[in-house]
A and B are shown apart, each in its own frame.
Chain A
């Protein structure tokens, strides 16, 4: 224990001493090398301990001496293999959120649900390569008679190509907005996720493909990648789903995803000033997927967003604006008189302010307020004369509430939502959330 503490302290000291003279990139490389050495030493120590400990299964050992001998020999001569199997290579993580909702004008529709339980596992192959899998269970029960869902939310391998440059391959979350990549309930305000980052930016939005991330010393972070896209053939004839989220209605989520048309994304964020983040992203992908049985095989969608956050003192201020546009959809809309045509545009924005009113130890109370404006069908132009279209709804929503943290990773939430355009949707929400 003392040995380990000394080694870590030395590493930190070394890092501090050199930080003025070295660049952050050099320090990171040095730290990585030292962690690797520490890991090897720890494995060697474990091997030595094992050799010295009396075997509790002495009878079995006597009965199979060759096996025991071989194991001990392996342990002492192959520290690398031991190191790779060490428990520290594996990490478990996840989050949960359980909600209660009571619509103001329709008490019969009150609902309590285990909204999400997410179980994640990570495995570090070495200092540069790791694997992440995240399994999500929505609404507690999944069966033919229930509306729950089980899904792989993430399943990818990540590799550090160089200091400050990494690549992801597999099924991963796109770096769009704030909530898509960081959606644990302790990390956002409100019992449910905000409307913009669910209706306009589908949540949780993952695609299959390859993505790159670069981080510069200046605080600039960029992302770019090539991934699967959406599937227009999933567009329903009933507008209920598409009014909720146009892209959410046609997402593929790595489930036998049509991949004749891919998508490209790019994101840029600046984190160079403490407490400040400014960024944005663009996604463009084919949605017609070259399908011969629809009249718009080359249809596509573009989604762009800008976001900003300022955490200063007890304040946490943020805002985000997002807009999506469908292209080349007139064929789809007019063929066979589609009952639920695809709109040209969908967009929304929010501004949010939260204030840490009180804190004692791990406990804290953070009231917040958010105003959102969201329209999932702004206009239609690619329709035939006389075709019935339904724009909107143009939702204008106030959400006011508070998060009470029992611990930075455990939060009790409460809020009231007021829809200025439709009081039928006004509601009171309560929930508990945690992540680990």
Chain B
């Protein structure tokens, strides 16, 4: 019936188009509109810029030590997370200078945006743990010039090294024969190439986990994984989905397990980080000291970016200061932080020094109102079996 209807309409259409043909006085416009040629990029293969980004990402010769590349801290085999078992990486000219934070996993960041405050005041987006870079390209410039990472003195130093690289000629072919004559512009192109590589290479957003297969109806969760999924989502249990949504956002093909927001979790101070040996130093995330533009917003002190939980089970260290080394520790911290604080924070004879990685005045910023934290004086939101289930579910988020 529908086909008959379509045939009838097509017949009417052909007649009407014939009629229209003699009527349209602007056929020249129609001819002009038949174009559309241009330098289209392909979606199947990497662009020339992205291919250069791939070379740059792996190239240790662009560091002062000659031994550190982007890949050194962002290992593709574990979701581009830190391969180090220590809380921070060692960098600098002799690879002996400790960094200040746990190198974050950088998969799925192409779905992130520039830092902003939502209409309700919630900080969102941005790159690095404190969101101070506005794009992947802006972020990519940072490590080249960071004294405790690749430790180049300036953009010119990076470009001088790049001009000696095996892919220098290709760089000139893509970005212009005279590109090395303008080191600042060339450095911008380096950042651009790295951004394109992270956007275009599906290794940075594979969506190949068991969770994805289950969502596509190709596999099924094991019973413990399914229970864990429930604890993950339930607002009265783990409530993990409040900041790590398990539903697909508008701009990605599947759930990202982050809303790119920020939270102050009161993660215990990690004295393995050299800077923390100074009792007066506090890494407060959004309000500084690394980030400088929000130093007056003391209400944001202690807030760090919510990372994606995809590939979380592959990580060696957790949270911005790399305090924890296993998922079990992490989940137990969330569940018992406020029901059993002595397990996590040091105690003096009179009290437990909770949220001890923040100055006393800013400890009130720590999130204590949402589940699973809001259980002071009550039993934990999850029991031991439920925690095991939850971890089983988190393991399904590893790309394969």
Interface residues of chain A, those whose CB is within 8 Å of chain B, are 144, 147, 237-238, 240, 278, 306, 308, 310, 315, 317, 319, 321, 323, 336-337, 339, 347-349, 351, 353, 355, 367-369, 371, 373, 375, 377-380, 384-392, 394, 400-402, 416
Contact = CB atoms under 8 A, between A and B. Distances in A.
Nearest to A337: B192
Interface in B257-303: none
28 contacts: A144-B120, A237-B135, A238-B251, A240-B251, A308-B23, A315-B16, A321-B30, A323-B29, A337-B189, A337-B191, A337-B192, A347-B33, A349-B30, A353-B12, A371-B17, A373-B33, A373-B34, A375-B33, A378-B35, A379-B37, A384-B189, A386-B189, A387-B192, A388-B41, A388-B200, A390-B41, A394-B36, A402-B5
A154 to B, nearest CB: 24
A392 B43 CA distance: 13
Interface string B361-372: 000000000000
Given A237-B114, A351-B20, A416-B6, A392 B29 contact: no
A385 B29 contact: no
Contact of A306 (B29, B40, B193, B196): B29
A408 to B, nearest CB: 22
B19 to A, nearest CB: 6
Contact of B20 (A353, A375, A400, A401): A353
A400 B34 contact: no
B137 interface: yes
A115 B346 CA distance: 57
B8 A367 contact: yes
A416 B34 CA distance: 23
B347 interface: no
A317 B16 contact: yes
Question: For chain B, which range describes its interface: under 10, 10 to 19, 20 to 34, or 35 or more residues?
Answer: 35 or more
User: Which of A378, A386, A389 has the most chain B CB atoms inside 10 A of its CB?
Assistant: A386
A401 B175 CA distance: 49
A314 to B, nearest CB: 10
A388 B12 contact: no
B306 interface: no
A113 B193 CA distance: 41
A378 B251 CA distance: 23
Contact of A355 (B12, B29, B136, B195): B12
Contacts of A323: 29, 32-33
B224 interface: no
Nearest to A144: B120
Interface of B: 5-6, 8-10, 12-13, 15-17, 19-20, 23-26, 29-30, 32-41, 47-50, 52, 113-114, 119-120, 135-138, 174-176, 188-189, 191-193, 195-196, 199-200, 250-251
Lowest 9 A-B CB distances belong to which pairs?
A353-B16, A391-B38, A369-B13, A337-B192, A394-B36, A386-B174, A379-B38, A386-B175, A321-B29
B23 A349 contact: no
A383 to B, nearest CB: 9
A101 to B, nearest CB: 16
Nearest to A418: B6
A337 B26 contact: no
A58 B328 CA distance: 81
A356 B23 CA distance: 20
A416 B35 CA distance: 26
Contacts of B250: 147
A363 B203 CA distance: 58
A424 to B, nearest CB: 13
Contact of A336 (B5, B25, B135): B135
B192 A385 contact: no
Contacts of B15: 353
B10 A369 contact: yes
Given A369-B16, A379-B38, A387 B49 contact: yes
Contacts of B137: 336-337, 339
A293 to B, nearest CB: 12
A312 to B, nearest CB: 9
A351 B49 contact: no
